[in-house]
Amino acid sequence: MDFNHPHTDRSFFLIAGPCVIESRDHAHFLASRLQDLADSRGIPFLFKASFDKANRTSLDSYRGTSMEEGLDILSEIRTRFGVPVLTDVHESAQCP
């Protein structure tokens, strides 16, 4: 998908993925299924997942992978599936 050129014939694109990265296999599985779904309908697709879900209501809730592992997984998905990826940033330290 080339974001430098407007999609004059399409005003919708899909941003989808898990709320938080649970595992490498799960993220790849979801990326594959979502890409197939978007491709079958001709919809541009961006994969979105968080490596850190800092806004949990319980301190004991799963927050995600490490930043390094999460970014590695997102990079793999971008390369393997050829889709743009998107994630959350909760702290300035997460933007080296």
pLDDT digit string, tens, across residues 40-86 = 998 899 999 988 776 656 666 666 678 888 899 999 999 999 999 99
pTM of the predicted model over 0.85? no
Q: Is the pLDDT of residue 3 over 70?
A: no
- Asked if residue 3 is part of any domain, the answer here is no
Tokens of 62: 């799963």
- Asked if residue 22 is part of any domain, the answer here is yes
C-alpha distances (whole Å) from 46 to each of 2, 60, 81 are 11, 30, 10
Q: Is the pLDDT of residue 4 over 50?
A: no
- Asked if residue 9 is part of any domain, the answer here is no
Model pLDDT, residue 12: 81
Are the C-beta atoms of 36 and 82 separated by less than 8 Å? no
Question: What percent of the chain is predicted at pLDDT more than 90?
Answer: 45
What is the domain extent for residue 79? 16-94
Q: Identify the weakest region by mean pLDDT among 24-28, 38-42, 89-93.
A: 89-93
The long-range contacts involving 32-38, CB below 8 angstroms and separated by at least 24 positions, are 32/81, 35/81, 35/83, 38/14
